[in-house]
């Protein structure tokens, strides 16, 4: 149930019987040969696919996140941690004031981890509320499925290569994993120099059949969390 396809009166009617909401969190950043909006596209789509049968509204994705290491790649946009926390807090405050009380933050970007600390702080100030941060791509069931397909997968590799975020031909073959520890000590220019095309390592693509199975697992796991809110 996309909020973008509803009006305020429909949402007011929904609030008369339920107080759950889903907020996808993404990022706009390089993903090798995949869309710069990969994290936003996947977070919003998995949230929508999961919430639709339950009739729970999904708000438009917060499409910008915290990604300073990728600023040397054209098109990558990073928010300050303080800005990100302020925006997300304002979003929760706005919806709380209208009667929403239970929120699932469906996150598609690892750099957005400060949202977890915000959730705990925000709930402490709103004791009648519940906010759950769900990193959909590495949640237990989904990550188990990833490992069953291929133990080597990372940023910009096969595990993010779905039919709906491909924008160019994906190379064949495999890229050797980069040293993740070394990346943390580098400037954005240094990161770009080390990782080249942006893939952190692993094969570039798997079959659509395997990717759709992974997707179904991610959707079902996300749907279970919406039910449990």
| Annotated domain spans of the chain | 3-228
The two structure tokens encoding residue 84? 């990100």
Number of Cα atoms under 13 Å in the Cβ half of residue 139 = 25
Angstrom distances, CA of residue 113 to CA of 84, 95, 188: 11, 21, 19
Q: What is the pLDDT of residue 124?
A: 98
Distance CA(55)–CA(182), nearest Å, equals 45
Ramachandran assignment for 47, one of left (phi > 0), alpha (psi -120 to 50 degrees), beta (any other)? alpha
Q: How many residues does the chain have?
A: 229
pTM for this entry = 0.96
Residue 182: per-residue pLDDT: 85
With a cut of 70, list the residues of the chain below it in pLDDT: none
Superfamily of domain 3-228 in CATH is Creatininase (3.40.50.10310)
pLDDT of the residue at 154 = 93
Give the CA angle between residues 134, 136, 140 to the nearest 5°: 90
């Amino acid at each position: 149930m996309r909020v973008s396809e509803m009006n305020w009166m429909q949402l007011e009617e929904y609030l008369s019987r339920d107080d759950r909401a889903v907020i996808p969190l993404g990022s706009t950043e390089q993903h090798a040969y995949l869309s710069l909006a990969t994290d936003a596209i996947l977070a919003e789509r998995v949230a929508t696919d999961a919430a639709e049968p339950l009739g729970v509204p999904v708000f438009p994705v917060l499409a910008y996140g915290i990604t300073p290491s990728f600023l040397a790649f054209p098109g990558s946009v990073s928010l300050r941690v303080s800005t990100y926390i302020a925006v997300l807090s304002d979003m929760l405050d706005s919806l709380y004031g209208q009667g929403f009380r239970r929120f699932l933050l469906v996150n598609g970007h690892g750099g957005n981890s400060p949202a977890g600390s915000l959730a705990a702080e925000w709930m402490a100030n709103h004791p009648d509320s519940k906010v759950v941060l769900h990193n959909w791509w590495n949640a237990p069931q989904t990550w188990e499925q990833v490992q069953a397909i291929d133990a080597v997968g990372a940023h910009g590799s096969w595990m993010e290569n779905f039919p709906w975020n491909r924008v160019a031909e994906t190379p064949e073959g495999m890229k050797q994993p980069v040293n993740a520890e070394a990346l943390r000590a580098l400037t954005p220019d240094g990161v770009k120099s080390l990782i080249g095309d942006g893939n952190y390592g692993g094969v570039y693509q798997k079959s659509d059949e395997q990717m759709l199975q992974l997707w179904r697992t991610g959707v079902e796991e996300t749907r279970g969390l919406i039910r449990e809110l």
